[in-house]
C-alpha cells in the first residue's frame, strides 16, 4: 500500500478568487530542445542494488509538509528527566552569547508558558504567474502560512525553507499578536531551513537543546500555527524514532519522528523537550487517512548549524555543486508532450561561470549516470554529488544528439 505524505498546503490559505486549476504539466518547464532517441551504452553504468533502490523509492514518498499541532493538552505532566543544562541564544547574530540555566523537569503548563513566546506565526504572499489554459499570462496572489522560532532577541527567526519559498511578502505575528514585516536572510533547500529577520528588540529567544542526546520515548511538546490561524497551539507526545531517513521535497534528510499532533501551518514550528529546550524544527507529517501520529522534525543541531551559516554567509558553505538546474520527466507521455524521446533527468539551465559550463554541459542534455552510478531522478543526482567535495572532478554520462558521452566536471561551491 502506498503511503501518502502531505506536501503543498499553501492553497488551504489562498484568499484570492479566480485561482486557476492545478496544472498537470511540470511547472516552470520549457522544452530545452528535443533529445533524439537514446543510444544503448555498450557498457552501461552499474545500478544500485535492488534493496537500495527500493528504500529510496519508499522514502521518496515523504514530501515537505506543513506541520501542526491539534489542540488539547489538558494538564498532563511531562515526567521524563532531562539534562538539566540549557543554552539560550542572546544578543545579535554577529555577537551571540550563551547563558546556562539549570532546570528540573517541568510540568506541561510551565513548559508551555516558557516556550510559546519564542514561537511565531508566519504568513506569506506570493505573486504567481499562470501559463495554463484560460489563465495564460495571468497573475494572482497565493497566500501561505507556517511557523517560526525566535533565535535571537533582536529578531532573527528560524523556519522552513518551504514556508517562505517564493514569497514576495512575509509577515510575522508574535505570541502577543504584534505584527512585523520580515526580510529573508537566507534559505537552504537541502535541509529545508530558512532564516528571516524582523526589526525588533527584546524578543524571547528559544532555549537551544542538544538533539544528539535525544532518546526514543522521551516526552516532547510541539508549538506552532496549525491551519494558519491557530498560532501558539501546543500539543504533546514522545519521540517515536530517531535518525529517520526520509525524502523531503526531493531531498534526503535524517529526521526526528514524533507522535505529537501535526497539522498544516506548523511547518517551521518548534519541537521542545521537557525542560523547554528546542530540539527540532517541525517540517513534515503523514497525510494518509489511515495513519496517525507520524510527524517529523529537523534535529536542532542540524538546523542551528545551517541557520548560523545563512546568517554569517548568506548560504551554506562547503557544499559541492555541479552548477546546473535539472528537472525530472517521469513518464513517456510527459516526455512526448515536450518533444523529448524518453523520461529521465534533463539539464534545464547551466549556471554561468560554473564547472558545468566549463565542461560544456548544455540545456537538453539527459544525465544518465554520475560517477558510473545510474541516476533516474534529480534527487539521485544530488545525492551522488553530495558524496564529493568542492574542487573534486567527477564523471557524468549524458545523452546528447543520439550519443552517450562522458563529461568531466569540477565541482564548485553551492551558493544557494
Choose among 259, 261, 220: nearest CA to 68: 261
The answer to whether 162 is a known catalytic residue is yes
* Residue 273 Cα to chain centre, angstroms: 22
The answer to whether 192 is a known catalytic residue is yes
The answer to whether 388 is a known catalytic residue is no
Grid cell, residue 59, equals 522514502
CA distances from 325 to 58, 243, 297, 349 (A): 25, 29, 27, 5
* Residue of 192, 273, 309, 328 marked catalytic: 192
* Residue of 118, 143, 147, 162 marked catalytic: 162
* Residue of 10, 267, 354, 414 marked catalytic: 267
CA dihedral 63, 65, 71, 77 (to 10 degrees): 60
- Which of the residues are catalytic? 162, 192, 267
Amino acid at each position: 500500500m502506498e503511503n501518502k505524505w502531505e506536501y503543498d498546503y499553501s492553497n488551504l490559505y489562498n484568499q484570492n478568487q479566480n485561482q486557476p486549476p492545478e496544472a498537470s504539466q511540470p511547472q516552470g518547464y520549457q522544452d530545452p530542445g528535443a533529445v533524439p532517441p537514446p543510444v544503448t551504452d555498450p557498457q552501461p553504468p552499474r545500478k544500485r542494488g535492488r534493496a537500495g533502490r527500493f528504500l529510496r523509492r519508499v522514502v521518496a514518498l515523504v514530501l515537505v509538509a506543513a506541520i501542526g499541532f491539534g489542540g488539547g493538552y489538558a494538564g498532563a505532566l511531562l515526567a521524563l528527566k532531562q539534562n538539566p543544562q540549557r543554552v539560550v541564544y542572546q544578543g545579535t547574530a554577529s555577537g551571540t552569547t550563551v547563558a546556562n540555566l539549570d532546570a528540573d523537569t517541568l510540568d506541561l503548563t510551565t513548559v508551555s508558558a516558557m516556550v510559546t513566546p519564542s514561537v511565531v506565526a508566519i504568513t506569506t504572499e506570493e505573486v504567481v504567474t499562470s501559463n495554463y489554459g484560460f489563465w495564460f499570462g495571468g497573475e494572482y496572489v497565493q497566500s501561505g502560512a507556517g511557523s517560526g522560532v525566535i533565535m535571537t532577541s533582536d529578531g532573527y527567526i528560524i523556519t522552513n525553507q518551504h514556508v517562505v519559498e517564493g514569497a514576495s511578502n512575509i509577515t510575522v505575528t508574535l505570541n502577543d499578536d504584534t505584527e512585523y514585516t520580515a526580510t529573508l536572510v537566507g534559505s537552504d533547500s537541502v535541509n529545508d531551513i530558512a532564516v528571516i529577520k524582523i526589526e525588533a528588540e527584546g524578543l524571547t529567544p528559544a532555549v537551544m537543546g542538544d538533539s544528539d542526546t535525544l532518546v526514543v520515548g522521551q516526552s516532547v511538546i510541539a508549538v506552532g500555527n496549525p491551519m494558519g490561524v491557530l498560532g501558539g497551539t501546543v500539543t504533546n507526545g514522545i519521540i517515536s524514532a530517531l535518525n529517520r531517513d526520509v525524502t523531503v521535497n526531493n531531498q534526503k534528510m535524517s529526521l526526528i519522528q514524533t507522535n505529537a499532533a501535526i497539522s498544516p501551518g506548523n511547518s517551521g514550528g518548534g519541537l521542545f523537550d521537557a525542560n523547554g529546550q528546542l530540539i527540532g524544527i517541525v517540517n513534515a507529517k503523514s497525510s494518509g487517512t489511515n495513519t496517525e501520529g507520524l510527524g517529523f522534525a529537523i534535529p536542532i543541531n542540524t538546523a542551528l548549524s545551517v541557520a548560523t551559516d545563512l546568517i554569517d554567509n548568506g548560504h551554506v558553505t562547503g557544499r559541492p555543486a555541479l552548477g546546473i538546474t535539472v528537472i525530472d520527466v517521469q513518464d513517456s507521455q510527459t516526455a512526448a508532450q515536450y518533444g523529448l524521446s524518453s523520461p529521465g533527468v534533463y539539464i534545464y539551465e547551466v549556471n554561468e561561470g560554473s564547472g558545468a559550463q566549463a565542461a560544456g554541459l548544455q540545456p537538453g542534455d539527459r544525465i544518465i549516470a554520475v560517477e558510473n552510478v545510474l541516476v533516474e531522478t534529480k534527487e539521485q543526482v544530488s545525492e551522488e554529488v553530495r558524496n564529493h567535495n568542492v574542487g573534486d572532478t567527477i564523471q557524468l554520462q549524458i545523452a546528447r544528439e543520439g550519443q552517450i558521452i562522458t563529461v568531466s566536471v569540477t565541482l564548485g561551491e553551492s551558493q544557494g
